Structure 1
Amino acid sequence: MKGMVAFATILLVSKTLLVSKTENLMGGHIVDNFSREPERREVNVSGLNTFLTRMYGLMSLAVFVSAITAYLTMTVFKAAVFTFVAGHAGLVWIILLLPIALSMGISFSATRNPVGSFIMLMLVSIIYGVEFSLISAMYTAANIAAAFVSSAVIFVTMAVFGTVTKRDLSRAGSHAMAALVALIIASLINMFLHSAAITYIFSYIAVIIFVVLTAWDAQKMKAIYVNYGAEVSMGGLAVMGALQLYLDFINLFLQLLQIFGMSNRD
């Protein structure tokens, strides 16, 4: 359970750092784009649809790569991976933290080096796939399936809502980010308290937070393309958006997995 809490906390930190960097993209004018007058240029609907298709396609690919990696790790490479983990505890922690560095690398280089950012996105997906495989032994196949289906339904619903709604979600998103920071601090404290009850409650709170963040990220990435799509690489923005949404999805999945798993134990 301690490893699960640590992994969940690292995912929360990754998301927080990435959102902070995205808000500063393009001179810091992303979050308040709805409070400004619309850009004085025509938005190419076809271009926007192409961008959204590419972004969600990359996000889906990242989830697929993580799933395949987790499956292969738990089947074909199970013995080798667990032997490595048992003999290299320090290196395992470095690998555990590596996706944070890769995520920051993507946020800094996405608009300048889309190909390199795509490669880093795939590396993040592979590493998280391995890490998911290491904690999956704690849960039943039914738990994993239920968490995945629930996460997919919630994610698709909120992503569609965030993309099509005319309502400004920036305030709700900002509140969710503040709650996420508070949750990270509380989770770090709980790593020393080892309270299963607190972890259970935090998982529900995290699900609520990422429900909001999924909609906000979908709206935000659409707004970024509308306002800045003509100035930067579409491929780079698609990779950055895919990473944002990928982190939303796997955080939802992980928190729901904890909820289903702990409910069954009770």
Structure 2
Amino acid sequence: MANWSDPRSTVTAAAAPVDTRASATDAGLRGYMLSVYNMMASGVLLTGIVALAMVYTGAVNSLFDAETGKASLLAYVLMIAPFALVMVLSFGINRLSETSAKALFWAYAALMGASLSTILLVYTGTSVAQIFFATAASFAGLSLWGYTTKRDLSAMGTFLIMGLVGLIVASVINLFLQSSAMQMVISAIGVLIFAGLTAYDTQKIKSMYFQVAGTSFAGKSVVMGALTLYLDFINMFLFLLRLFGDRR
């Protein structure tokens, strides 16, 4: 009798560490995703603040040549600079410190705000606000689905990335054709592509946590995740605005 042990206590003792590890993983994942969403949302907020500041201070007028009304040199710089920062973040993230990566993300969001300030001159403020909140609601729903779904979205992601390449090619072609009908088609397809990418990228960022958790790369991974979702949000917003926005 002295060697007898209750089998229930054995099961409990064996299961407890597993449950503890599972709870720690869930908490870590939630914290990781919350950091990604907070940084992404903060970037969108900064973009909006800079865009509004550019309009209300009149600085947006410096993006146009006073005599011809065409884009100024500064406008071209603002179009190229964000692209350059994305390239630095994407290809140089391993060499950057977490602080530097965050600084580049904030710089990118601010430059995007300056560049996108011109949309407030083209579309009504009410229209921009309505499309923004519609985009935010759609983004939240799609990202939540991407986070909770058990379906592997890898195949869909490959298809969407191929579609994105085709979309870029079509957009370049339409720069020369200047077809309004083609622009509408491009915008509609763009909304669908970035809606799908929002779900796909959310799942990919969630999966990334299990690779970087506890490593020195975790902080930089948050920055890259935030940048990815930021780009999905901004592009979906712009395509929706082109489709449904009311021009001045």
Q: Which residue of 1 aligns with 2:136?
A: 152
Q: Which amino acid is the alignment partner of residue 48 of structure 1?
A: L
Distance in 1 between the 2:63 and 2:147 partners? 43
Render the CA deviation track for 1:203-254: whole Å, top value 9, x for unaligned: 0100000111000000001101112323342211110000000000000100
1:86 aligns with 2:29: no
1:44 aligns with 2:25: yes
For the Cα contact (< 8 Å) 2:63–2:74, is it kept in 1?
no
Q: What secondary structure, in the 3-state scheme, does the structure 1 residue paired with 2:118 have?
A: helix
Distance in 2 between the 1:66 and 1:95 partners? 13
Distance in 2 between the 1:196 and 1:81 partners? 26
Distance in 2 between the 1:206 and 1:232 partners? 35
For the Cα contact (< 8 Å) 1:163–1:215, is it kept in 2?
yes
Q: What secondary structure, in the 3-state scheme, does the structure 2 residue paired with 1:137 have?
A: helix
1:228 to 195, 212, 222: 212
Q: Which residue of 1 aligns with 2:90?
A: 107
Q: Which residue of 2 aligns with 1:238?
A: 222
Q: Identity of aligned pairs, percent?
A: 36
For the Cα contact (< 8 Å) 1:106–1:120, is it kept in 2?
yes
Comparing 139-148 with 86-95, greater Cα deviation is found at 86-95
Q: What secondary structure, in the 3-state scheme, does the structure 2 residue paired with 1:168 have?
A: coil
Q: Which residue of 1 aligns with 2:153?
A: 169
Distance in 2 between the 1:49 and 1:108 partners? 27
1:201 aligns with 2:185: yes
Q: Which amino acid is the alignment partner of residue 215 of structure 2?
A: E
Distance in 2 between the 1:61 and 1:72 partners? 16
TM-aligned CA distance change 1:109 to 1:232, over 3 Å: farther
For the Cα contact (< 8 Å) 2:63–2:73, is it kept in 1?
no
Q: Which residue of 2 aligns with 1:33?
A: none
For the Cα contact (< 8 Å) 1:217–1:245, is it kept in 2?
yes
Distance in 2 between the 1:179 and 1:108 partners? 23
Q: Which residue of 2 aligns with 1:12?
A: none
Shift of 1:102: 0.6
Distance in 2 between the 1:84 and 1:129 partners? 13
Alignment map for 1:26-41 (pairs within 5 Å): none
Alignment map for 1:108-147 (pairs within 5 Å): 108-111=91-94, 112-147=96-131
Q: Which residue of 2 aligns with 1:98?
A: 81
Distance in 1 between the 2:191 and 2:144 partners? 17
Distance in 2 between the 1:160 and 1:84 partners? 38
Q: Which amino acid is the alignment partner of residue 66 of structure 1?
A: T
Q: Which residue of 2 aligns with 1:247?
A: 231
User: How many residue pairs end up in the alignment?
Assistant: 221
TM-score by length of structure 2 reads 0.84
Shift of 1:89: 2.2
Shift of 1:164: 1.0
Shift of 1:84: 5.2
List gaps (5 residues or longer) in structure 2. 1-20
The ranges of structure 1 where at least 4 consecutive aligned residues each deviate by more than 3 angstroms after the TM superposition are: 108-112
Provide the alpha-carbon RMSD of the alignment: 1.9
1:61 aligns with 2:67: no
List gaps (5 residues or longer) in structure 1. 1-40
For the Cα contact (< 8 Å) 1:110–1:239, is it kept in 2?
no
For the Cα contact (< 8 Å) 2:160–2:197, is it kept in 1?
yes
